[in-house]
Amino acid sequence: MGKFNFIKTSIDGVIIVEPTAYGDSRGYFMETYQKEDFYAGGITVDFVQDNQSMSTKGVLRGLHFQKQYSQSKLVRCIKGEVFDVAVDLREGSPTFGKWEGVILSAENKRQFFMPKNFAHGFLVLSDEAEFVYKVDDYYHPNDEGGLMWNDKDIGIKWPIDDTFEIKLSDKDKLHPPFSEYKK
């Protein structure tokens, strides 16, 4: 394996990235992004902005997207653990409305790439999580869109049970169902 292992998923363009960590008794070192390697691995976008958030257990952020200024994202969890989800919103795609999810954690060091025209969300599974991501277009606050996190038509299988308390922002509580999706 080289510096990165690029794992294709059931949705075209959505890729799990496993970086190689070089460790010894002092700790570890790893590259998290290298343009030439990523281009060779099928991720051919130019990132323009990095973002970071911290959330506590049960916080669910999403499902978010930008309507006209869609963003490709490369996401990872640098502290704790999250369940990360991408929902295909590419009209005409054979996987339109389908989702792919992956556990991202500081321990597994995995990254998750989704191209433009995907809704994105994540659920914090650990007591606390720090989440970072690169995007290939700037955030436009007047261009926000969202979908219900628990929409039956999408059918995301969140790793929760009846005892798990989901914490949503007021904005995320108001997202419409997938049946009302409009770009």
18 alpha-carbon distance from chain centroid: 14
Q: Is 179 left (phi over 0), alpha (psi -120 to 50) or beta?
A: alpha
Q: Are 115 and 93 in contact (CB under 8 A)?
A: no
The residues annotated as belonging to the active site are 64, 133
Task: State how far the alpha carbon of 168 is from the alpha carbons of 52, 116, 178, in Å.
Answer: 18, 24, 18
